[in-house]
Structure 1
Amino acid sequence: MRRKLHAWCATLGVLALSGCNWYYNTLPSPDDLMKLVPWFDHMIKSPAVHPYMRSDVPRTTVPGTVPVDAVEGDWGAEWTAGNWASADRITNPTDPASTLVVGDSVYHIYCTVCHGPAGAADGPVSPKIGAPSLLTPKAQGLSDGHIYSLIRYGRGVMPRYGDKIVLPQERWAVVNYVRKLQADAAARTAAGGTP
């Protein structure tokens, strides 16, 4: 009997106290405590900062800037607009002799189907789409950066291969291999053969 009475009293007490909000009026709120410390009060009254409010701060990087995270820069918008100056300024950072094996492999995976095994535009798809020869004087006159950008972004009927040949070192290896194909064709022509 006594246990039941205590249980009823406890239950009624909990119900009575849960319906009241007396603690809101008697206990200090965290905001009241913050106002007691001077610098917290100052932080509440400080003006908000809008980091993009100023318009006189430059937003774009200077062309040729090396990214902080060492990720390759993106000149795709300039390239697709026909501005090839950025691409022509890019220099080949690799040693051509050391990348020819990788370049040969990647070239035969992605490029042979259109440009042919020797770069003479005699691949199985070339007659259907009109892929250009890599051995012409025009192709030989392109800068390494221009060829690299063609591989990365594509142009005309050539699709972009930047999403397939992901590593920049492999793209440069293909550029070096194309230069080797051009040199081999020039040597064959000088010897009296066909390019």
Structure 2
Amino acid sequence: MPRSLSRAILLVAGLGVAGCGWWYNDVPSPDDLMYTIPWFDHMLGSMAVSPYESGSVPHTPPPGSVPVTGGEIDWLDEWRVLNTTTADALVNPVGRTDGLARGEELYGTFCALCHGATGQGDGLVGRKLGAPSLMTPRAAGFSDGYLYSIVRYGRGIMAPYGDKIFRQEDRWRVVNYLRTLQADQLGGGS
């Protein structure tokens, strides 16, 4: 390497290091700047208040929010596998007509892409992957618990939706909405 090029590189590196030293010494840190803003200074000298000393929150959480304690969440649940007998034993705790609008919303969001808006298996993705129709007598014969377990854990190439349809009640609402679709199209449903 030519001597003039190495001197130029050394000069640029030296100026860079010298510049870093200036920046470090002359520019104040954000911690130093904080106390020049008046309200931060008042916060430092004010009395500390703990608004939640009693442990209670002064308002009710909005509907559908996730509990802080994870109350309804069984974290090991995702590792369990429901067989047909176990799934058939599950009982739907949600009334057949309770929350149908929510079930329709969730079905439209998560299920209709494959199974179609009417459950015929003709959704945008379902046409390519061959999603089964949910409007057959065989599908109508599945127990609510079995359909719930399919929503929760998936089946075949269908991915599990238990982590997306988080609340158990909402998964049952999807089952109820599916039963409504089946009743409309098959003339009865289960």
- Which bracket does the TM-score occupy, shorter chain normalised? 0.5 to 0.7
Whether contact under 8 Å (1:78, 1:84) holds in the other structure is no
Structure 1 gap segments, 5+ residues each:
1-68, 189-195
Summarize the Cα distance change of 1:88–1:75 in structure 2 as closer, same or farther, 3 Å threshold. farther
Q: Indicate the residue corresponding to 2:157 in structure 1.
A: 157
d(CA) in 2 for partners of 1:76 and 1:136? 30
The 5 Å alignment of 1:10-29 reads: none
Q: Indicate the residue corresponding to 1:78 in structure 2.
A: 81
Structure 1 or 2, whichever has the larger Rg, is: 1
Q: Which amino acid aligns with 1:74?
A: D
SS at match of 2:151: helix
The 5 Å alignment of 1:106-185 reads: 106-185=106-185
d(CA) in 2 for partners of 1:124 and 1:75? 28
d(CA) in 2 for partners of 1:70 and 1:171? 13
d(CA) in 2 for partners of 1:87 and 1:76? 15
d(CA) in 2 for partners of 1:76 and 1:101? 30
SS at match of 1:97: coil
What is the CA deviation profile of residues 17-67 of structure 1, one whole-angstrom value per residue up to 9, with x for unaligned ones? xxxxxxxxxxxxxxxxxxxxxxxxxxxxxxxxxxxxxxxxxxxxxxxxxxx
d(CA) in 1 for partners of 2:180 and 2:79? 26
d(CA) in 1 for partners of 2:180 and 2:149? 18
Tell me how far 1:77 sits from its aligned partner. 3.2
d(CA) in 1 for partners of 2:89 and 2:102? 24
Q: Which amino acid aligns with 2:139?
A: A
Identity of paired residues, percent? 46
Structure 1 moving runs of 4+ over 6 Å: none
Q: Which amino acid aligns with 1:165?
A: I
Report how many aligned residue pairs link the two structures.
Answer: 117
Q: Indicate the residue corresponding to 2:14 in structure 1.
A: none
Whether contact under 8 Å (1:96, 1:176) holds in the other structure is yes
Tell me how far 1:78 sits from its aligned partner. 3.3
d(CA) in 1 for partners of 2:85 and 2:186? 27
Structure 2 gap segments, 5+ residues each:
1-70
Summarize the Cα distance change of 1:84–1:113 in structure 2 as closer, same or farther, 3 Å threshold. same
Whether contact under 8 Å (1:115, 1:131) holds in the other structure is yes
d(CA) in 2 for partners of 1:74 and 1:85? 17
